[in-house]
Amino acid sequence: MKIFKTIESLQTGLSLIDTNMSLGFVPTMGALHQGHLSIVKKAKKENDFVVVSIFINPTQFDKADDLKAYPKTIDNDLELLKDVHCDFVFIPDVEDIYPENVKSSNFDFDDLDKVMEGAFRDGHFDGVGTVVKRLFEIIEPTKAYFGEKDFQQFQIIKKMVEKDHMAVQIVPCEIYREKDGLAMSSRNTRLSEEQRKEAPLIQQTLLKCKSIYAEREISNIKKMVEDTFKDNDILDLEYFEIADVQTLLSTNDKLPNIKYRAFIAVFAGKIRLIDNIALN
C-alpha cells in the first residue's frame, strides 16, 4: 500500500498504472470502521486498483464544534487499509484541496439538497459536492463508492455526476451495522455508554416502520416514530421523513410505482446519528 500526501505525488503514482485498469475510489474522512472496510473490499472486488482518500472536509461542517470533535485516527486507519489490501491512500492537506480559499462552490442539485440533511445542515451538500468533485478531478476513477447510510449524499453525488457529465460510475453500498443494528458511523465512538445502549432504538424503529408500512397511513407511522422518541430520555428526534427515493421529497401518500424510504436523524446529546431503510 502506498501513501500519498500531495496531489502531484498521487498523480505521478496514478500515471504509472496501466490505463486499461479499472480504478475504484472510496472517499472517506478517516476514523475508519468495518463499514468503510466493507466498502473498500467491494471496491477491490470490482476494480483492478483501489484508491482511498482520507480528508476531513471543513466546508461540509456547519458547526465548528462538530468539525473540531471529528475523530482523527490516522495510524489505525492506515493499518486497517493495509489489512484490506488497499492500493493507494491519498491524505491531502486543506491547502491542496482548497488552494485559494476554504469555500464551497454552489451547486444545483435539483433541490435534492433542500430537504432532510440539507434543511438541517446549512451548506453541507455544497461542501460535499465541492470536495468530491475536486477528488474526482484529481483521481479520475472508473467507479466511486458511497455508503447508503448517507443515502441523500449518494443521490446528490449521482445528480452532480449526471449534470456535469463526469465519467465515473457511482456505486451504492449497503448500510453496515453493529450486531445490535446500530448503523456504523465514525460518530458512534463519541457516544457515552448510556447513549450507545439506547442507540439501537433508531434501527428498531425503522424496522417497525417497514413492518407496518403496508397497512398503515403515513401520518400514523410518523406519529408512532414521534411517540417512540418522545418517550425516550436519551435520544431526541430531529426529523423523520418518508420520502421518494429519487426526488427525496417527503410524502403523505403512497403512490403506485414509487419507491419510498424512511429517513431519520436523532441526537444523542450533541452527537447526531442518521439512518434510513427501504420501505417497499
State which residue, 153 or 188, has the beta carbon closest to ligand PAF. 153
Hey, is 84 helix, strand or coil?
coil
Surface-to-core class of residue 12, CB atoms within 10 Å of its CB (0-12 exposed, 13-18 middle, 19+ buried) = exposed
184 binds ligand PAF (CB under 6 A): no
150 binds ligand PAF (CB under 6 A): yes
The three cell numbers locating residue 24: 475504484
How many H helices and E strands in the chain? 11, 9
State which residue, 78 or 128, has the beta carbon closest to ligand PAF. 128
CB contact at 8 A, 125 and 153: yes
50 binds ligand PAF (CB under 6 A): no
Rule CB under 6 A: choose which of 131, 160, 274, 279 binds ligand PAF: 131
Segment interacting with ligand PAF (CB under 6 A) among 112-120, 125-133, 176-184, 257-265: 125-133
148 binds ligand PAF (CB under 6 A): no
The three cell numbers locating residue 276: 434510513
The three cell numbers locating residue 266: 436523532
CB of 29 vs ligand PAF, minimal distance in Å: 4
State which residue, 130 or 228, has the beta carbon closest to ligand PAF. 130
Identity at 226, one-letter amino acid code: E
57 binds ligand PAF (CB under 6 A): yes
Strands of 60-204 (E only): list them: 88-90, 143-147, 169-173
Q: Any catalytic annotation for residue 36?
A: yes
Taking the C-alpha atoms of residue 157 and residue 173, their distance in angstroms, rounded to an integer, is 14
Instruction: Pick the closest to residue 204 from 248, 262, 162 (CA basis).
Output: 262
Segment interacting with ligand PAF (CB under 6 A) among 25-33, 85-93, 173-181, 244-252: 25-33
Identity at 111, one-letter amino acid code: D
CB of 87 vs ligand PAF, minimal distance in Å: 18
171 binds ligand PAF (CB under 6 A): no
CB of 133 vs ligand PAF, minimal distance in Å: 10
Number of residues forming the site for ligand PAF (CB under 6 A): 10
138 binds ligand PAF (CB under 6 A): no
28 binds ligand PAF (CB under 6 A): yes
Q: What share of the chain is helix, strand, coil (3-state, %, to 5)?
A: 40, 20, 40
**Which residue numbers are catalytic?**
36
Judged by the rule CB under 6 A, the positions of this chain that interact with ligand PAF are 27-29, 57, 60, 128, 131-132, 150, 153
